[in-house]
Structure 1
Amino acid sequence: MNSIHRLLLIAALSGMAALASHAVSAEEPDTSPLTHSAVLRAPIAEVWDALTNPQRMRRWWAPNLEADIRVGGVIRSSYNPQSTLRDEYTIENTILAYAPGRMLSIRCTKAPADFPFKDVIGDTWSTILLDELGPDRTRVTFMGMGYTADEKSQRMRAFFASGNQYVIDQLKQMFEIKDVAQRDARVMELVGRFAKGEWVHQSARPDGATFRVRNAAHHGPDGVCIVSRGWLDVGAGPYEHAATLIHRLPASMGGGVEFTGIHENGAMARGPITLIDENTIEWHWPETLLDGRGGLYRIRTVFTDETHYTMLMFERQADGTEIQRLKIDFEMIAPQGPDPSVPQRLGR
């Protein structure tokens, strides 16, 4: 490490220590480091690779990403799979300092065009620390620093309080099951239930009309991936709403299960599907319209038995909070017909 690298590292760590020792009362704005931590079931070298290998970073950081891991290098990311990573919605983080296998410090030097705190984010920086707890246990700590008592800075701190927790949870889930193949097999086993029949939801809208949803899926050409299509009926007859491809990633890319979806309005989404428990999966759903606008959703699918599941949809807000948008129950009503692209019927 050259002298510039050492100076940057010392500055980052000294600033961290000073801020960590600063206490604030409950009545004052919170300018202390915004800290999130988790213990991962993996050796420290494997966790460092997940922090710096672009192929693995796409599993938890953002689905579209490139990284130049050096002091002064830039990590460019976007939730839009079609982004060139040079457009106005691309996020750029510049690396301030790093210690291989131990620490990575970055500052956001370009926020997306619609980010509400663009004028104050440059005053902050983030540091990721790794601590080796054993041969297969590593503590990862995210620290956001530089927040001031300014009202806008405090609102941005609240935004990242939930956002950073979500990110560290995504990273943690990569290592929850030591056997990646076992984890991915269980996810595919659960999503494979979509191909066993047609799934419907039917409920009454506030205006008295009947709201219907139908999903039909089949296995793709490899016999493993899932191709799903969905139809909606909000009272004027059914129309095709979305198509989704679900597939596994190879072990060389860190494993995992990923989806790509497209809606009738051209909106696209691409992200990981993670295992929450034996009967629950979660979709990280960053949706992007053709003009670059979009939103971030979290969709949880809970299988109550072989023929029923509940879908919950949460939307991320500008202040970092989430709003539950949907909670609907599905029932499998018929075995899959010979032509999976055509629903056999829409009502029950």
Structure 2
Amino acid sequence: MKANLLSLLFLCFSALAFAQNMDDDSEMRVKSVIDSSKADNMILKQFFVVNVPLDSVWNACTTKKGWENWAVSLAEVDFRINGTIRTNYNKEGEIGDESTITLHIVNYIPKRMLTLQAHLTNNFPEFMREDEKNLFNMILFEEINGKKTKVSSYGIGYKNNEKYMSLMKFFIQGNEQSYLNLISYLETGKPSVDY
């Protein structure tokens, strides 16, 4: 009961902060919200607008060059349905070593939608590895005008329980930093954190 009450309070404060900052792009570039309206599951919703054309955003998220310019030191992209995006933060590492992160491309609609599923390594908690087949990230790309694009990310499949709720802060912070890197790279040519 206590965990549910804390989850509800966290959700209410997150929703309030989200609503207050929704119209103020100058203060908050990435907006995050946890939706636990479904009894058994949570969805991590994250949104941002970037001041570049849709093609630039799509290319940054679907090509080796794009990933290596804003997200990781090393990337290998086989962009197709059932393809993979394999990355490594370690400049001294290589694709395929134990620090490689593999994202499976479940499906996509060019320049509109991309669904990814991570292969969870031993670096993730056991309870997440057990749920791996149910965890997805759906990313929607929307052209606002020729010079502005909205990106909406939905982390799907998190269970609405104390274990997952404790990880949400970590996921929110990590994802927000990644999206800020992407925004900085797209708008200035340099990520906010260099890999």
Tell me, yes or no, whether TM beats 0.5.
yes
Q: Does 1:131 align with 2:145?
A: no
Q: Show the counterpart of 1:158.
A: 169
Single out whichever of 126-135 and 80-89 deviates more from structure 2.
80-89
Aligned to 1:82: 92
**Largest Rg, 1 or 2:** 1
| Distance in 2, Cα, partners of 1:151 & 1:21 | 15
Point out where structure 1 has 5 or more consecutive residues left out of the alignment.
1-19, 181-255, 257-271, 275-282, 286-348
Paired letter, 2:180:
D
For 1:44, the equivalent position in structure 2 comes to: 54
Would you say the 8 A contact 1:36–1:168 is kept in 2?
no
SS at match of 2:79: coil
Whether the 8 Å CA contact 1:147–1:157 is kept in 2: the answer is no
Gaps of 5+ in 2: 1-33
More strand by share: 1
| C-alpha contact 2:56 2:186 (8 A) present in aligned 1 | no
Q: What is the CA deviation profile of residues 210-231 of structure 1, one whole-angstrom value per residue up to 9, with x for unaligned ones? A: xxxxxxxxxxxxxxxxxxxxxx
Report the counterpart of residue 211 of structure 1 in structure 2.
none
- The one-letter amino acid of 1:69's match is F
Structure 2 distance, partners of 1:83, 1:141, is: 31
Q: Quick one: percent identity of the two aligned structures?
A: 28
Question: Aligned partners of 1:46 and 1:133: how far apart in 2?
Answer: 13
The structure showing larger relative contact order (alpha-carbon pairs under 8 Å, at least 6 residues apart) is 2
Alignment partner of 1:35 is 2:49:
no
State the superposition RMSD in angstroms: 2.4
Kindly provide the amino acid, as one letter, of the partner of residue 77 in structure 1: T
- How many residue pairs end up in the alignment? 160
The alignment's TM-score, normalised by the length of structure 1, stands at: 0.42
Mapped partners of 2:61, 2:123: distance in 1: 26
1:23 pairs with 2:19: no
Helix, strand or coil for the counterpart of 1:127? strand
Distance 2:161 2:35 in 1: 20
What is residue 182 of structure 2 aligned with on the other side?
171
Name the structure with the higher helix share.
Answer: 2
What residue is the counterpart of 1:92 in the other structure?
102
| Alpha-carbon displacement from aligned partner over 1:132-174 (angstroms, at most 9, x marks no partner) | 1001000011110101123333333332111111111111112
- 1:73 corresponds in structure 2 to 83
